[in-house]
């Protein structure tokens, strides 16, 4: 299951993962505490140490500037940092692979253009 987000709250690890069936699960220290369909307004409500937490997915228009998920503790917003690594390394790897492939194609083309014997 790919992990979408990872937060630490009051010495507890909160993970948000997506299942193969398209559902979003919230795991508290590895134990499933909430599950809902992964849509743009999905909410998860649970309690940790007598505090009620609500995790909801933000609108797609705000995601670029903020965290993907909004977390509230007892009704007030909490600023938490998503510890999960972003997918920028995958994009960088894709750019490198495409660059090497294009370089090979252009290099072989120019090699054939410059160094092949001319036939008349």
pLDDT value of residue 40: 72
Q: What are phi and psi of 97, to 5 degrees?
A: -65, -45
Count Cβ atoms within 10 A of the Cβ of residue 44 and give its class: 0-12 exposed, 13-18 middle, 19 or more buried: buried
pLDDT band at 106 (very low <50, low <70, confident <90, very high): very high
What does the mean pLDDT of the chain come to?
82
Encode pLDDT of 27-40 as tens digits.
999 899 888 887 77
Whether the predicted pLDDT of 47 surpasses 80 = yes
Judge contact between 112 and 104, C-beta under 8 A. no
Task: Measure CA of the first residue to CA of the last residue in the chain; give whole Å.
Answer: 62
pLDDT value of residue 83: 67
Radius of gyration of the chain from Cα atoms?
A: 23
Judge contact between 89 and 97, C-beta under 8 A. no
Stretch 55-59: mean pLDDT: 80
């Amino acid at each position: 299951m790919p992990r979408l987000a990872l937060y630490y709250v009051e010495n507890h690890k909160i993970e948000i993962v997506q299942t193969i069936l398209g559902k979003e699960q919230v795991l508290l220290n590895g134990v499933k505490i909430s599950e809902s369909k992964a849509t743009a307004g999905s909410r998860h409500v649970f309690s940790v140490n007598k505090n009620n937490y609500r995790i909801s997915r933000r609108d797609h228009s705000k995601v670029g500037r903020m965290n993907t998920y909004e977390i509230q503790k007892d009704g007030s917003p909490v600023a938490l940092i998503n510890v999960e690594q972003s997918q920028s390394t995958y994009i960088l790897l894709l750019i490198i692979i495409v660059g090497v492939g294009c370089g090979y194609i252009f290099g072989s083309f120019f090699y054939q253009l410059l160094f092949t014997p001319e036939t008349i």
